[in-house]
Amino acid sequence: MGDASLPEKIPTTMAAMRLIGHGDADQLVFDEAVPTPRPGPDEVLVKVTATAKNNTDRKAREGLYPTKEQGDVTSFAMGGSPTLTFPRIQGADVVGRVVAVGDGVDASRHGERGLLDFNLYADARRDLNLTPDYYGHGADGGFAEYIAVPSAQFHHVANPELKDAELAAMGMCSYQTAYHMVTAAGVKAGERILVTGASGGVGTALIQLCRVVGAIPYALSQQDKAPALLALGAEAVLDRSDMGDFEARVKDVTGGQPIDAVMDLVGGEMTDRFIDAMIFDMAARSSHPRLSIAGASGGNVSEIMWTRIYLYQVQIFGVSHGTREEAEQLVAWIREGRLKPVLHAAFRLSDLHAAEHYFVNRGGHYLGKIVIVPDAEWDVHGAPFSLEGSS
Ligand SMILES: NC(=O)c1ccc[n+]([C@@H]2O[C@H](COP(=O)([O-])OP(=O)(O)OC[C@H]3O[C@@H](n4cnc5c(N)ncnc54)[C@H](OP(=O)(O)O)[C@@H]3O)[C@@H](O)[C@H]2O)c1
């Protein structure tokens, strides 16, 4: 927290949802008397209007990032030691308006509507991010009425056609991860790309980003989501409920050609089938089979035959977050209208428990993101996208 004093119109306390420890959703406590953060040097104070929910909120709460032993309760610790301490305000993908600036920030930023690049970057490098951490994990995030963040990472997005909740649905936790999956695997125009977990926040971003770079996305999802995924840009949708004849079904939709690269968010036992889809005709390929993996919604452990990996020269890219350069490119594409929000519904901040429950138990029609709106902002920024309002 910075040390600048707050302008008079900003209350000294705010409402926030605080995570008080690892565990179930009952570890999330709504508190209406949390000290309002003050902007430090080179920071802006943002009045939050919408913050997207991400899988990582639940995973961090439950301590589900094992990197050594299955069952370990862990959080991000790539910089050396765990950075999640309690109480913590979660929420990575923040949209709001600048209401105060710290020393060194131009006063003209007052009133700007923007989107946060959610990373806690360890250094100033623009092209590399080896110790991923983020607002809502290693520092307080956006499930609150105010947040203080680096001015350089709060990107102005004026675009009046985009409502605040819609802009939050294009938050960097999904979009930057998706774009880094694309760049890590060197995806090129004209390539056939399999996107797994296609209907989720990262998957819907991947489908769009494949089109932006000229690649052809094939979605792995559920049949009732096919129309929406085709409308979003998928070339074809493969049903994940039956993986038995997966290679044959891939050939059906690609005209017999192998998949060039897989953007995998599912992992588990399916990953080996995804490799099948790339290697069945190596003579037809002009590049290495490539697998970018950034999530494991289907399971953290896969059985993979390593002879297949090295004999077929499959390249595997582990992806977590992206770089400053990639965040800035994405913001430019958002400003140009080249990326679209996929917003499922908005929930009130005080109803975050209900949003968590809804997200975990979501049905077949679910696509894209849930966004959380502070109660004081609900009528303007949340109500039009509530489950009732949007149905
Ligand atoms: N590495 C990073 O920095 C980073 C950043 C963001 C997210 N992630 C991870 O990436 C994954 C996707 O994130 P997200 O935000 O897009 O999640 P999401 O919105 O929950 O979407 C995940 C999608 O995966 C599919 N899925 C879920 N369970 C599955 C299962 N058991 N088997 C097969 N498919 C399943 C579903 O899509 P269909 O119904 O369409 O099949 C679901 O919509 C998560 O594991 C998340 O933790 C990682």
Instruction: Give residue-wise pLDDT tens across range 97-155.
Output: 999 999 999 999 999 999 999 999 999 999 999 999 999 999 999 999 999 999 999 99
Range with lowest mean pLDDT among 5-9, 89-93, 101-105, 360-364: 5-9
Band of residue 363 on the pLDDT scale cut at 50, 70, 90: confident
Q: How far is the CA of 293 from the centre of ligand 1 (A)?
A: 11
Nearest-CA residue for ligand 1 atom 2 is 320
Atom number of ligand 1 nearest to Cα 368: 19
Ligand 1: residue whose CA is nearest its atom 15: 201
From 135, 229, 265, mutation site for ligand 1 pocket: most ligand atoms within 8 A of C-beta: 265
The closest-lying atom of ligand 1 relative to the alpha carbon of residue 299 is: 31
- Matching CATH topology for 13-170+343-390 and 174-318? no
Average pLDDT, the chain: 94
pLDDT digits (tens, 9 = 90+) for 337-349: 999 999 999 999 9
The secondary structure of the chain in percent helix, strand, coil, rounded to multiples of 5, reads 30, 25, 45
Sign of CA dihedral 14, 64, 321, 85: positive
Note the CATH architecture for domain 13-170+343-390: Alpha-Beta Complex (3.90)
**Tokens coding 271:** 């990953």
Q: At 187, list the tokens.
A: 């995806």
- End-to-end Cα separation, the chain, in angstroms: 40
What is the dotted CATH code of the domain comprising 174-318?
A: 3.40.50.720
User: Alpha-carbon distance 185 to 207, whole Å?
Assistant: 15
Residue 391 pLDDT grade (very low, low, confident, very high; cuts 50, 70, 90): very low
Pocket lining for ligand 1, CB < 6 angstroms:
54-56, 59, 173-174, 177, 197-203, 221-222, 225, 240, 265-266, 294-298, 319-321
Domain boundaries, the chain: 13-170+343-390, 174-318
From residue 324, alpha-carbon distances to 18, 99, 150, 172 in Å are: 28, 24, 13, 11
Q: Where are the beta strands (DSSP E) in the chain?
A: 13-19, 28-35, 43-52, 88-89, 93-101, 113-116, 146-150, 154-156, 192-195, 216-221, 236-239, 261-264, 290-293, 315-318, 343-348, 369-373
> Which of residues 352 and 5 earns the better pLDDT score?
352
Mean pLDDT of the region 297-315:
93
Q: Is 141 exposed, middle or buried (0-12, 13-18, 19+ CB in 10 A)?
A: buried
On whether the pTM is more than 0.75, the answer is yes
Instruction: Match 């594409």 to its residue by tokens.
Output: 333
